[in-house]
Amino acid sequence: MPDIELLTFIAVKAGLNSTFFTSTAKIASRFHISQQSVSRKLRALASEGLVEFSSSPKGVRVKLSAKGASILKSRFVELKQVFASHPAPFLEGSLESGLGEGSYYMSQAKYVSQFEQKLGFRPFAGTLNHGVSEEKLAGFLSQLEEIAIKGFRTGQRSFGSIRAFPVLVEKKYGAAIIFPERSSHESNVIEVICRENLRKKLKLKEGSSVKLFSEKL
């Protein structure tokens, strides 16, 4: 039986087709196990043909294989039967401080043009980080539309792809939950982008509770 929890973690971070660069130390911290255990689990997934895995002194690169994606899709179909009959009406999170990187990424022209075209708004230069329940997040996302934002390369560096899920913040502000291909956040922390500066609009501070709703209210 493959390690579904680790396989799911890789899928959340990398998506179905992208590569996730991280370290065994970060994964070990996430699952509260040793780095040796992480390496052993990754090698096991690779030997089963579920992931593509390589390591170097700088870290590890992991990508979901077609076989691994197929297993997760089968599991998703099973879980969707559970969540579909009782879809989560909203997702509540608590505001967390970030590293201030959101403004840099959200101001990249090739991201902004795709957000405007595919999401219908030009995001404020920054993201809101929300700490959420991973179980409730899975149920909430199952009813949302996923929109792919393509990565790109500039003369200086490359920028990864982004998975975006349109939502409404407090039933009022059009926004989107985003999952960047390259993210330093734990899997229980999501990023939200919006046209408005939500911190000012909603007078938010560290620990403030924010509710996200499906656009299909």
Domain boundaries, the chain: 4-81, 87-214
Q: Over range 128-152, report the average pLDDT.
A: 87
Phi, psi dihedrals of residue 200, rounded to the nearest 5°: -80, -45
What's the CATH fold of domain 87-214? Elongation Factor Tu (Ef-tu); domain 3 (2.40.30)
Choosing among 3.30.360.10, 3.40.50.620, 1.10.3720.10, 1.10.10.10, the CATH entry for 4-81 is 1.10.10.10
Which pLDDT belongs to residue 82? Answer: 61
Q: Which residues contact 37 (CB under 8 A, 6 or more apart)?
A: 28
CA distance 121 to 148: 15
Whether the full predicted model's pTM is greater than 0.85, yes or no, is: no
Which pLDDT belongs to residue 177? Answer: 94
Q: Which residues contact 15 (CB under 8 A, 6 or more apart)?
A: 64, 161, 163, 179, 181
pLDDT digits (tens, 9 = 90+) for 59-87: 899 998 888 888 888 887 777 666 655 56
Average pLDDT, the chain: 85
Which pLDDT belongs to residue 76? Answer: 76
Residue 184: pLDDT above 80? no
Confidence of residue 91 (pLDDT cuts 50, 70, 90): very high
Which pLDDT belongs to residue 175? Answer: 95
Which pLDDT belongs to residue 121? Answer: 94
Q: Over range 98-125, report the average pLDDT.
A: 84
Contact between 119 and 164 (Cβ < 8 Å): yes
CA distance 166 to 119: 7
